[in-house]
Structure 1
Amino acid sequence: MIERPVPDEYVEFVGEQRATLRRLADEARAAADAGDLAALRALAERLRLQIEDGDDRVYGNLEPHLGDIVADLDALYDAAFPVTDPDDVSEVLAAPWPSAHRKALLAACLGCDVRHRLLLDDVAERAIAAADTRLLRLLVLTPLGFTQRTVVARILDALHRAGDLDAAVVERAFTDDPWLGRATHGDPPLGCADALRDHLDELTWRLVSASPPADRDRLPQVPAPRGLRFVRAALTWHGAPEVADHLGVAELTGPERATLLDHLRGRPADERRRVFGWRLSAGDAEAFLPMFGLERTAPLLRLIQAMPADETVRQDRAALLAAVAEAGPDAARRLLELVPNELVSAAMGWNRAAVLKRVKRNALQGIAAFGMLPLAADETVLDRYLALREIAKRGPKLGPNRRHSHAAAVSVALDHLAQVTEFADASRLEWDCEARLGNETPTEAEIGDYRVELRFDGADPTLTVARAGRALKSVPAAVRQDPRYQELREHQKRLQDQARRMRTGMIEQMVSVSATLQPDELSRLLSLPAGAAMLPLLVWRDRAGTIGRLDQIDTSGPVTAVHPVELRERGLLAHWQAEFERRGHPQPVKQVFREVYVLTPPECEAGEVSRRFAGRTVDGKVAGRLLAERGWFTHGEYDAHQATRVVGDGLIAALRCDFHGYFGMGEVVVGEVRFLAGGRRDGGRYGCPTGSGSVGGTPVPLADVPPVAFSEVMRDLDLVVSVAGQEP
């Protein structure tokens, strides 16, 4: 192998690192000659961290130039820690240095190629089941192989149950993975969580007290440290600001908060603001409002702190206004200087210009805040509603996942607008505004000798221009330039948008999930020109089970848009297909001619997993776009599943794929799909996804998945492999 040259800017650093490592290697050789295995273990850890840190600092330009030193260390440690039984994984792992020989032995134990990642999860699972504490400790302490974070957390928990959890194991685990606390102190926390805290506090204190102190990314990230000593250290910190920020959020007791508050009285404003910022992150900032004279703003602060930072969700406008009133406008403004909040400011109408700028950039919180703004003096509710619909039209042009969060932000904004305009909910606001589009705008005009009319051809609005009772094939220039014609053209576009929203949004979703409409909902939809044109072209089921068109069933009760799966099960699919072919009226969306997918014998035998499309290679960019259009979220290559979609009834469809990087980067190999129960992801009206919450849950047998949900998921994936598929 030809060694690539060191970039000029790193030559001096690499030379210094080689010299340091050579000195440590010499120390290791002296320890080996003296038979001091404890010193060899300690030096191995120093060597490993020195190489890792140095390589990070020069972006991978150190390790390629350490071949001679590493080879010497491999030989030294293989001789000092010989393996007598290469089939004993415990003995293989019991080495402080990851020599090439040791890696080869481990690969043989695992039955894999040494060039692949040596994953120890299966070994760990067996050790946990057997309560083999020696092997469990080795799995944490060994520099060989890789164990996933959640498995390491379970190892610590097993050691805790066995009474063998000590500082050495905890510190090594959190040194290797400073974010390990996400797994140990999650929701719910593991049984070892409390036992870990003392060890982590002492590790953090030692690292920040060292000379020089550790960088921020070397400190345990979760959970936060405990104790006033950490906040005091943050106040006098002269190193990297991010370390001070980490220490400043330390968990405090009530007496410690009181002591800190007393200390801060009379301190410079900048220092008090800095501490308040830390305590906002820590979650106890309310206790520090008195140092600003803002005690009465506590209810408003609680509302602000309850708002998720990374998600756009509905807020109660009345509660926000009440909290501002209790605090007083001046105090509320002073609190917002400390804790800027776009939604609170919008509810008061204090940041209209800033919100409008943010909306132009498709900022999600800005869109939600736009709905919360009071109506301007010259603005109607229909104006704001149409503006939000124009914003919604930008969503499909965004990235696969971004389009979903954008749609969710618009949905939240509509809910906020309903509160501003005193509608009972967003649905009633939508019904009212959509009805106004068809009823409150002129549909005809007399322009000189010409008569212009807006008519409906089914669901599609058309403009006709006539003179002396005769329709013209083209629009005269004098008519096109008239403001009244332009107004009708704008109204036509709005009604076309209304028809599009109803067809591709509401009706498509209703058919895909076999949704039910109550009589008042049906009546409102039929009052719209697009609804009156499209709904009678669907097949419905009434509360008595009768299937037919709207004029053939009982509409005094709830009616359900029939999915073709049900028509097939009842032996009616061919009949309705023939009926629509005979009538020659195309449906607004695919219903009776919609593709139907049922369980196959291999899927019945497989139980919880369908491999119907497994192994198919698709263009990731095209596939990601198609999935996004159908409500799927795509995830990273290391997630449990690489694409997920809400399918109703508390179920999430979860697809596994193989690719490198992210979904749209290149080729994607489709894998197996399963359905998970209990996974959390918010669902909107008619099952539309409105958020990107966490995905989890228990696999459900395919035979227990509702047939409609199963058919729709398979329909999505069939489309993806058909359109985005690549030849092998």
Structure 2
Amino acid sequence: MDIPEIYIDVVREQREALWRLVDQARVLAKAGDLAGLRDTAEEIRLRIEQGDDQTIGNLAPHLGDIVSELDDLYDTSFPVDRPDDVTGLLDAPWPTAHRKSLLAASLGSDVRHRQLLDEIAEQAIAAADIHLLRVLVFTPLGTLRRESVAQILDTLHRAGGLDATVVERAFTDDRYLGYAIIGHSPNGDATSPPLTCADTVRNHVDALTWRLVSAPAPADWDELPKVLVPRGLRFAHAALSWHGDQRVADHLGAAELTDEERTALLDLLRDRPVEEQRRAFEWRLRAGDADTLLPLFGLERAAALLRLIRAMPVGEATRQNRAVLLAAIEDAGADAARRLLELEPNELVSAVIGGNRAQVVKRVKHNALQGIAAFGMLPLAPDETVLDRYLALRESAKKGAKLGPNRRHSHAAAIAVALDHLAQVAGVAEASRLEWDCEARIATTTPTESEVGDYRIALRFDGADPTMTVSRAGKALKSPPATVRADPAYQVLREHQERLRDQARRMRTGLVERLVATAGTLTPDELARLLSLPAGAAMLPALLWRDRAGVIDLLDHVDTTGPVTAVHPVELHGRGVLADWQAEIVRRRLRQPVKQAFRELYVLTPAEREAGDVSRRFAGQTVNGRMAGQLLSGRGWFTHGEYDDHQATRIVGDGLIAALRCDFHGYFGMGDVLVGEVRFLISGHRDPGRYGAPTGSGSVGGTPVPLVDVSPVVFSEVMRDLDLVVSVAGTGPEAYLSPAQAASRAQVLAALIADLGPARVTVEGHSAVVRGTRATYRVHLTSGSIHVEPGGYLCVVPASFGAAAHRRLFLPFADEDRMTSIILSKVLLLAEDEKISDPSILTQLDSLTGTAATRRRPAGETRILTATEDE
């Protein structure tokens, strides 16, 4: 293997240094100095490791002669007495080829691979084998997971066998071992309580760190233990005079201090240059006690404001209390507040003061989440109204809907925070009240009529949809003339129409869908505000509601003087009135704004009840990752990487998180995804005991909840999300046929049959049976496939089939559900099969039934009858 030219000299120098150490080892071996041989082996091991890092892997491949010499020397000095003694095999300072071969045989592993010692460590921990535990820390013959090393140190601590040499060796091998000691992940999340050895370990690590940084040739950053913050003023003092790597100074300067040490640091800094004071202030910001140093800058009164700034999560758009911030700014004084923001910049606090308007507006245009949150907090400009700011946020929200899956969620959350901040600026108690007050202004403040010459323009509502008409002399025109379209009054009404359409769309897909999906409740005031909007007046009366007396009916027939709750079909099913209400909805020809009475319903299966806290209903289904990620995102799910505990999660309310496990490589969207099991986990903001889990065991995402304890509404909606994903994004060799979707279509068809009375159609399971004049057909209510009895499939795929619903089809919901329209239109078409004139269909029927179908068209004339045509 050739060495890159830039590393040739380094490799030569490292080899020369290593041969000198080999010579040293020969002398020690001849003298029988086993302790010296151990120290030399460690020195050699560290030099090889550092040299290989320095040459990007170009040193180790050129050390074969040196390693061979060391193997012979250490096999002679540390012979293997018993190959079956794992402790004896591991208790050697150099990993000779002979020992590695014996260890691999003992472990039943391939000698060419790393020898994993975690199982041996578990056994030693269980047996409290102090000697073996120490050997495991020092041995160079295998590897341990970070968590295993931490548990070894904890076991040694409890047994009184934890000393500086063990701790220092452990942290020399893994300088980030502190994560496992204090129970944190590298991204800062708590994974477990700190180990009992934590304080003792920190004492030894402090001593090691001080020795390294106070040596005549101080250690560099890569040699220092990480994670564990050093303790004591000596470290902060050393940071001020540090001239090496800035990362070392930052680590030392953020040392943990006592109250007395903080006071001493303040006194120490009083006469220091301003640059040093600012640098120390930055270190103490990281440590969390920078308010101690505020007197250096004449900012004693700004301590409360600094604490508020430091309490804000970094990199997140979170709701802040404007009144509290304003009070802290007033206490500090406007000038002091600005000077503090120079020391510790904060976009949102600057926005409260109004000092960064241009920057915030620019950041909103670039979809910066914290910029959006700060935008809501800006004081209103002299020429700006609350409605102007609200509309600007709504425009930003529309841009956010086009972002990637997870980014779309965080953007929507930032908009919600900004609306809350705007409500505080406007002096409105709740963001929801501000939102619907602004929506009411949109609907009522702009004129709905205008005149342009002889033409009259009017904005009217067809249900929730605003339509614009142009008339002349009382006669409506099919389209507005060019002179009208060019008039500013027409443009104003067009813009108002688009705002009202957006309002209706937001209400249907946001508020109304959420009310039904969560069985949400409205107070009388909230209901009145929504009904004052054209969209609300059109949509809400078509839903089923339950009043405080428990009465379920349409809005006009329940008591609205108290709170009313949107009914989820789970409740109708539980009361045994689901089919009755479905028939009534169809009979009254009510088109519900979202699926409610005919919503797909998912209840616990016997297998899920038996499984306890896990559902495998969709396990084994393969889906397109990109499409599945988009579908999940649109329903409030976050997707995660392949190595996370769960690959998709959704907050479902009441302190629960729905968690889905999947198998894929990389991240959601890279390729196909194999769907796994679903659980509901306690999110950490509630009492776990309420759900049958031991109190105190509910770390975030850690405690599964028995499925029988999950709200039936929550369970049904989560399964509905996943059913949609595997139905639409499925890539398996056989298409997934959703039983719930088939059942929903069967319910619609059953209600239509009862209403229209087509005696030829019945519903049997997941199929519609149509007894036509030419044949009997079975139409599958999920796939839409048509089976002609006694055998054979009928292909009905005209070019425009399903573009619009069959003339007799009424869908009792406004959701876009083209497949339901297509399937049910097929059923109604076949119920009138005597009217079919499509030659391709008739030819198939001739073949399948063995009879010649009578054609009503003259010879030579071809006409394709679609399900949308009216004969």
What TM-score do you get using the length of structure 2 for normalisation? Answer: 0.75
Cα distance in 2, alignment partners of residues 28 and 613 from structure 1: 63
2:172 maps to 175
Say which of 311, 331, 342 aligns to 1:326: 331
Residues 548, 422 of structure 1: alpha-carbon distance in 2 compared, 3 angstrom cutoff? same
Mapping 1:132-531, distance limit 5 Å = 132-143=129-140, 147-186=144-183, 188-210=193-215, 212-531=217-536
Residue 173 of structure 1 aligns with an amino acid whose one-letter code is A
Moved more, 10-19 or 169-178: 10-19
Identity %: 72
Structure 1 portions without partners, runs of 5+: 682-693
Cα distance in 1, alignment partners of residues 502 and 573 from structure 2: 33
Say which of 600, 610, 614 aligns to 2:615: 610
Residue 133 of structure 1 aligns with an amino acid whose one-letter code is I
Deviation of residue 362 (structure 1)? 1.7
Cα distance in 2, alignment partners of residues 647 and 697 from structure 1: 16
Please tell me the root mean square deviation across aligned C-alpha atoms, in Å.
3.0
What's the CA shift string for 1:641-699, capped at 9, x where partnerless? 22221122211122223333333334433333222124359xxxxxxxxxxxx943312
Q: Which secondary structure state, in structure 1, belongs to the residue aligned with residue 405 of structure 2?
A: coil
Cα distance in 2, alignment partners of residues 462 and 114 from structure 1: 77
What's the CA shift string for 1:583-637, capped at 9, x where partnerless? 4444322223332233333333322223333344433333332222222222333
Cα distance in 2, alignment partners of residues 34 and 320 from structure 1: 73
Residues 524, 131 of structure 1: alpha-carbon distance in 2 compared, 3 angstrom cutoff? farther
Cα distance in 1, alignment partners of residues 104 and 596 from structure 2: 54
Cα distance in 2, alignment partners of residues 640 and 94 from structure 1: 36
Deviation of residue 99 (structure 1)? 6.1
Cα distance in 2, alignment partners of residues 614 and 546 from structure 1: 39
Moved more, 569-578 or 625-634: 569-578
Mapping 1:24-173, distance limit 5 Å = 24=21, 27=24, 36-63=33-60, 90=87, 93-97=90-94, 123-143=120-140, 147-173=144-170
1:726 maps to 731
Deviation of residue 544 (structure 1)? 2.7
Residues 639, 467 of structure 1: alpha-carbon distance in 2 compared, 3 angstrom cutoff? same
Deviation of residue 32 (structure 1)? 5.5
Cα distance in 1, alignment partners of residues 146 and 47 from structure 2: 23
What's the CA shift string for 1:389-419, capped at 9, x where partnerless? 1112222332332222222221111111111
Cα distance in 2, alignment partners of residues 123 and 659 from structure 1: 31
Kindly indicate whether the alpha-carbon contact (under 8 Å) linking 1:680 and 1:696 is maintained by their aligned counterparts in 2. no
Residue 365 of structure 1 aligns with an amino acid whose one-letter code is Q
Deviation of residue 76 (structure 1)? 6.1
Moved more, 100-109 or 216-225: 100-109
Deviation of residue 77 (structure 1)? 5.6
Residue 180 of structure 1 aligns with an amino acid whose one-letter code is L
Deviation of residue 711 (structure 1)? 2.3
Deviation of residue 368 (structure 1)? 1.1
Kindly indicate whether the alpha-carbon contact (under 8 Å) linking 1:652 and 1:679 is maintained by their aligned counterparts in 2. no
Say which of 651, 668, 689 aligns to 1:646: 651
Cα distance in 2, alignment partners of residues 707 and 307 from structure 1: 36
Deviation of residue 321 (structure 1)? 1.6
Cα distance in 2, alignment partners of residues 720 and 104 from structure 1: 50
Kindly indicate whether the alpha-carbon contact (under 8 Å) linking 2:229 and 2:255 is maintained by their aligned counterparts in 1. yes
What's the CA shift string for 1:204-226, capped at 9, x where partnerless? 11222346533324423323111
What's the CA shift string for 1:529-572, capped at 9, x where partnerless? 11122222222222233323222332222222222233333333
Residue 166 of structure 1 aligns with an amino acid whose one-letter code is D
1:713 aligns with 2:718: yes
1:556 maps to 561
Say which of 614, 622, 627 aligns to 2:632: 627
Cα distance in 1, alignment partners of residues 79 and 731 from structure 2: 51
Residues 166, 663 of structure 1: alpha-carbon distance in 2 compared, 3 angstrom cutoff? farther
Deviation of residue 486 (structure 1)? 1.2
Cα distance in 1, alignment partners of residues 546 and 273 from structure 2: 71
Residues 288, 70 of structure 1: alpha-carbon distance in 2 compared, 3 angstrom cutoff? same
Cα distance in 1, alignment partners of residues 477 and 75 from structure 2: 94
Kindly indicate whether the alpha-carbon contact (under 8 Å) linking 1:634 and 1:644 is maintained by their aligned counterparts in 2. yes
Residues 667, 45 of structure 1: alpha-carbon distance in 2 compared, 3 angstrom cutoff? farther
Kindly indicate whether the alpha-carbon contact (under 8 Å) linking 1:201 and 1:225 is maintained by their aligned counterparts in 2. yes
Cα distance in 2, alignment partners of residues 476 and 91 from structure 1: 97
Deviation of residue 424 (structure 1)? 0.8
Say which of 535, 544, 547 aligns to 2:552: 547
Cα distance in 2, alignment partners of residues 98 and 718 from structure 1: 54
Deviation of residue 430 (structure 1)? 1.0
Residue 393 of structure 2 aligns with an amino acid whose one-letter code is L
Cα distance in 2, alignment partners of residues 176 and 153 from structure 1: 12
Cα distance in 2, alignment partners of residues 103 and 712 from structure 1: 55
- CA radius of gyration, larger in: 2
Q: Which secondary structure state, in structure 1, belongs to the residue aligned with residue 701 of structure 2?
A: coil
Residues 86, 518 of structure 1: alpha-carbon distance in 2 compared, 3 angstrom cutoff? farther
Residues 331, 614 of structure 1: alpha-carbon distance in 2 compared, 3 angstrom cutoff? same
Moved more, 549-558 or 14-23: 14-23
Q: Which secondary structure state, in structure 2, belongs to the residue aligned with residue 548 of structure 1?
A: strand
Q: Which secondary structure state, in structure 2, belongs to the residue aligned with residue 394 of structure 1?
A: helix
**Larger RCO: 1 or 2 (CA < 8 Å, sep 6+):** 1
Q: Which secondary structure state, in structure 2, belongs to the residue aligned with residue 334 of structure 1?
A: helix
Q: Which secondary structure state, in structure 2, belongs to the residue aligned with residue 397 of structure 1?
A: coil
Kindly indicate whether the alpha-carbon contact (under 8 Å) linking 2:467 and 2:497 is maintained by their aligned counterparts in 1. yes
Cα distance in 1, alignment partners of residues 86 and 618 from structure 2: 38
Cα distance in 2, alignment partners of residues 83 and 605 from structure 1: 54
Kindly indicate whether the alpha-carbon contact (under 8 Å) linking 2:220 and 2:244 is maintained by their aligned counterparts in 1. no
Cα distance in 2, alignment partners of residues 414 and 323 from structure 1: 22
Cα distance in 2, alignment partners of residues 24 and 121 from structure 1: 32
Residue 495 of structure 2 aligns with an amino acid whose one-letter code is E
Kindly indicate whether the alpha-carbon contact (under 8 Å) linking 1:676 and 1:698 is maintained by their aligned counterparts in 2. yes
Deviation of residue 177 (structure 1)? 3.4
1:594 aligns with 2:631: no
Residues 706, 38 of structure 1: alpha-carbon distance in 2 compared, 3 angstrom cutoff? farther
1:687 maps to none
Moved more, 618-627 or 35-44: 35-44
Kindly indicate whether the alpha-carbon contact (under 8 Å) linking 2:130 and 2:156 is maintained by their aligned counterparts in 1. yes
Moved more, 399-408 or 343-352: 399-408
Residues 261, 444 of structure 1: alpha-carbon distance in 2 compared, 3 angstrom cutoff? same
Structure 2 portions without partners, runs of 5+: 184-189, 687-698, 734-871
Kindly indicate whether the alpha-carbon contact (under 8 Å) linking 1:516 and 1:560 is maintained by their aligned counterparts in 2. yes
Kindly indicate whether the alpha-carbon contact (under 8 Å) linking 1:466 and 1:472 is maintained by their aligned counterparts in 2. yes
Q: Which secondary structure state, in structure 1, belongs to the residue aligned with residue 355 of structure 2?
A: coil
Deviation of residue 250 (structure 1)? 0.9
Moved more, 121-130 or 702-711: 121-130
Residue 288 of structure 1 aligns with an amino acid whose one-letter code is L
Moved more, 534-543 or 29-38: 29-38
